[in-house]
Amino acid sequence: MTVNEELKLKDKERLLELFDATLSLFNENHDLVNNFLTGELNLSSFERKSILIGALLDKKENFNLKTKLDILLYSHGLKENYYYNPLLKIFKEIHKERFDSENLFNVFFEKLENYLKSIKDITIYEYILVFPINIDFKSGIPIRFLKKNMDIDIKLVPYSIYNKDYLGPIIEYLHTKYGDRRELIPEYNQELYKLIEKYNHRDNQFFIAKVFARNILFSVKKVSRNIDINIGLYNLLLYYQMDVISFGGDPFEKSIGAINNPIVYVFNNEECKAIMFSTYEKPKRNEKIDFNILNSIVELINYIQKFKSGKLKTLLYDAFINYYAAIRTSEYSVSFLIFWNIIERLFLKKSGTKLMEIINRLKAIYPDSIKEKKDIEERIDMLYKKRNLFVHEAIDKITRHDRSFAKSLVEHLIMSFINFAIEIEDIGMLEFFYQNLRKSSNVLQREAHILKLLEDIKSKDTE
């Protein structure tokens, strides 16, 4: 199949339009240069167009570029791929060679294919990634982990192992990069030193992960997601039904959780090759996990591993990742919306699904027998209205109590999901389960009788 056949006509026309517009940004010397006299900001325009082109190329029905890079164990970003540099190289070559519009489409994809071939020539390395985390397991360390990618090896080690095997090369890397005279390095690098010192605590634990990749960005992106799944699980059990303490009013917005892993040390051949970090924020405290929570972690991991459906397991993993994000976010409205997103995703919200259907499903997971059923339903309606005000009218009336209740809804939903999803074999059956969730026992019994009749008829037809 040729490139032209792989692309939908609509996408092809849009790509050609973007290609032509992108080439017009280059000057006679084949360079991108801003002209402030005429107001031509060509560098910014190219960046914008490269993002639009990249988004189209990533689509499965187009070139499926993101998946192809994943197969090659290569990445152009930690969250989404940022194709500025490879696209700049390709368009600069095309501009120099002065291809006409008729051949532009095929020439572009030939060069893109050649770029992917060049990535295949990059050596695949085994990277070791070290993530410090401010958790103190008082009664032992988990030895099993939830993983979306089974080719990653993950373990937790105490400070003694980290100090013996990894701290020396990290210090050597810092000395090489910044020098011994710390007082002379820029302020933001001073902040990095302070952050590292805070996480080099003997009560902390350290995730050690091994992964094969062609570049560091891919290794960090792939492992981080798997690490966050497990930290999300730890957070769920540690902060279950907990909230921040407030002494009258809400003068400051605070995060619920204190667990964080903002640093990753990247090793190859026993050398520290890079230090990456997401924030300078120092840990508030060291969280302690006792035997009871540790036991719950082990039991829950063992239970989730028995899921029949990989897609349902992925839904749950995404919920753990988002729960971790919501717990460590201080802004009430942002944290609230992340919790709300978990609800929508676990209830299979699609573009055609009305939000009221999600609300009804959420209400239905609370049994009619509980005394607080009416109170919970009314409170859900209140949150729904505040959510709509914030999303559609940018009116933020979300309080700490709203976030706390959204958190409790998510916790109840996740635990309920774990209990019933283990028996469900695919997404279609999960949707069928939700569609019948609100029905009474009498209705379900009558429908089960009809389904049994249908099953008997079908079995006779096959005899």
Determine the pLDDT at residue 181.
62
Q: 102, 120, 138 — which closes off a domain?
A: 120
Residue 450 lies in a domain: no
d(CA 395, CA 397): 6
| Six token digits for residue 42 | 């060509």
Q: 120, 146, 171 — which closes off a domain?
A: 120
Residue 59 lies in a domain: yes
Residue 200 lies in a domain: yes
- Between 159 and 441, the more confident residue is 159
Residue 453 lies in a domain: no
> Residue 111's closest CA among 83, 89, 84?
89
DSSP string, 416-434: HHHHHHTT--SHHHHHHHH
d(CA 10, CA 20): 16
State the pTM of this model.
0.89
pLDDT at 251 over 60: no
Confidence of residue 244 (pLDDT cuts 50, 70, 90): low
Determine the pLDDT at residue 182.
60
Shared-domain flag, residues 293 and 359: no
Per-residue model confidence as pLDDT tens digits over 342-394: 999 999 998 778 899 999 999 999 988 899 999 999 999 999 999 999 999 99
Determine the pLDDT at residue 22.
92
Shared-domain flag, residues 380 and 234: no
d(CA 297, CA 142): 8
Containing structural domain, residue 415: 325-434
Residue reference for tokens 């919306």: 337
Shared-domain flag, residues 135 and 91: no
Q: 120, 154, 176 — which closes off a domain?
A: 120
Residue 445 lies in a domain: no
d(CA 258, CA 282): 10
Dihedral Cα 106, 107, 110, 111, nearest 10 deg = -150
Shared-domain flag, residues 65 and 131: no
Amino acid (one-letter) located at 171: I
> Residue 348's closest CA among 254, 264, 417?
417
Shared-domain flag, residues 176 and 202: yes
Per-residue model confidence as pLDDT tens digits over 190-212: 788 888 888 988 899 999 999 99
Residue 451 lies in a domain: no
Residue 110 lies in a domain: yes
Shared-domain flag, residues 20 and 82: yes
Per-residue model confidence as pLDDT tens digits over 5-30: 444 556 788 999 999 999 988 887 77
d(CA 399, CA 65): 42
Residue 275 lies in a domain: yes
Shared-domain flag, residues 50 and 80: yes
Instruction: From residue 396, give the alpha-carbon distance in Å to each of 44, 315, 334, 388.
Output: 32, 29, 10, 10
Shared-domain flag, residues 149 and 297: yes
Contact between 208 and 142 (Cβ < 8 Å): no
Shared-domain flag, residues 389 and 423: yes
pLDDT at 425 over 60: yes
**430 contacts: CB under 8 Å, gap ≥ 6:** 309, 312, 348, 421, 424
Shared-domain flag, residues 142 and 236: yes
Shared-domain flag, residues 278 and 403: no
- Between 101 and 246, the more confident residue is 101
> Residue 225's closest CA among 353, 309, 129?
129
Shared-domain flag, residues 338 and 290: no
Contact between 271 and 203 (Cβ < 8 Å): no
Split into its structural domains, the chain has a count of 3
168 backbone dihedrals φ, ψ, rounded to 5°: -60, -55
